């Protein structure tokens, strides 16, 4: 009889579909990025990212506890200072907003979650680039590395379990690893932003951190058409001691996530970034899509591509749905 093969037999009931599901999505696989801003007396909404805010130190603590109680696997913290300079000196200041917020959360949460820090200068520089500039206005790779080393040590001292160097400077993982080991932070892990593309989807994030950037970051972030280059970047970071690696953005680069997962011997993260979040939220607000179903479909697609963990602004909410 035709057809002899009937795959629909395995889709007949919710229980059957659950039994044969190939891809899991669990709260522990989700990491919540959070923003904390200096000088606020109340959370400041981010217009292009509905539901996301710049936190005060107090509201950050409360929201972090709620997210951890919802079951998220970790928190990635970004700091927004009141004052900036060409060197991004607030990034290495032990009393800078990111470092004091890290101490707040480590005191509040201890080891009950994985506390991560963005190890990059862009939020702290008055020109908005991820590194310091030379006399010609070009990002100086090696001078930037020296500041990354200092920033990494400051964040580890403040309580971060994991550092996330996201600036795409050549050699950043090795420099940070050596700096941490030299001062006794050998157990602090590095989640390397190994594959970070110069994407148009970062727009809302720049509002979130009040970015001062003029121009673009194409001299250090990757060209969107390059895949072999991405694997080279991944291999270099692994050789320098990365404990985990990341692909950013996620949705336009699912093929790159798959390739990274096939190659990497360490866990692979993917960042479901601000523009991806904003598109879904805008469409849902207009009634064009079902919000919860779409969010879970997006996150499942990233897991199916091979990501072991996902940074997403839906982390806490999705964790509650999944639980």
Kindly list the catalytic residues. Answer: 196, 248
Q: Give yes or no for a contact between 168 and 192, defined as CB atoms under 8 angstroms apart.
A: no
Instruction: State the helix-helix crossing angle for 291-305 and 254-263, rounded to 10 degrees.
Output: 40
What single-letter DSSP state applies at residue 143? H
Rounded (5°) CA angle 306-74-128: 90
Beta carbons within 10 angstroms of residue 186's beta carbon: 10
> Are 171 and 197 a contacting pair, CB within 8 Å?
no
Distance CA 116, CA 119 (A): 9
Buried b (16+ CB within 10 A) or exposed e, 143-167: ebbebbbebbbbbbbbbbbbbbbbb
What residue spans of the chain are helical by DSSP H?
A: 14-19, 57-70, 97-109, 141-158, 172-182, 203-208, 228-240, 254-263, 274-285, 291-305, 315-322
* Alpha-carbon span 9 to 1, nearest angstrom: 16
């Amino acid at each position: 009889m035709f057809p002899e093969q009937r795959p629909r037999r395995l889709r007949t009931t919710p229980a059957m579909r659950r039994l044969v599901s190939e891809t899991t999505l669990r709260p522990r696989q989700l990491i919540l990025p959070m923003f904390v801003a200096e000088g606020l007396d109340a959370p400041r909404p981010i217009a292009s990212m509905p539901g996301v805010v710049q936190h005060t130190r107090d509201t950050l603590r409360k929201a972090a506890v709620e997210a951890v109680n919802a079951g998220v696997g970790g928190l990635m913290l970004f700091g927004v200072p009141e004052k900036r300079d060409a060197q991004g000196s607030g990034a290495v200041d032990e009393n800078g907003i990111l470092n004091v917020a890290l101490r707040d959360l480590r005191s509040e949460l201890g080891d009950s979650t994985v506390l991560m820090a963005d190890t990059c200068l862009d939020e702290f520089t008055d020109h908005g680039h991820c590194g310091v500039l030379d006399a010609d206005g070009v990002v100086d790779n090696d001078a930037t590395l020296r500041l990354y080393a200092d920033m990494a040590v400051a964040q580890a001292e403040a309580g971060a379990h994991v550092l996330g160097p996201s600036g795409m400077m050549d050699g950043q993982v090795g420099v940070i690893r050596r700096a941490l080991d030299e001062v006794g932070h050998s157990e602090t892990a590095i989640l390397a932003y190994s594959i970070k593309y110069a994407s148009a989807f970062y727009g809302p994030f720049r509002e979130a951190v009040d970015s001062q950037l003029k121009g673009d970051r194409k001299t250090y972030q990757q060209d969107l058409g390059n895949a072999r280059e991405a694997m080279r970047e991944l291999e270099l970071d692994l050789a320098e001691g990365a404990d985990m690696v990341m692909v950013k953005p996620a949705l336009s680069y699912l093929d790159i996530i798959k390739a990274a997962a096939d190659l990497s011997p360490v866990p692979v993260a993917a960042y479901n970034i601000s523009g991806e979040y904003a598109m879904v939220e805008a469409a849902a607000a207009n009634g064009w899509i079902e919000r919860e179903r779409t969010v879970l479909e997006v996150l499942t697609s990233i897991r199916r591509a091979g990501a072991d963990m996902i940074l997403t602004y839906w982390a806490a909410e999705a964790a509650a749905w999944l639980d």
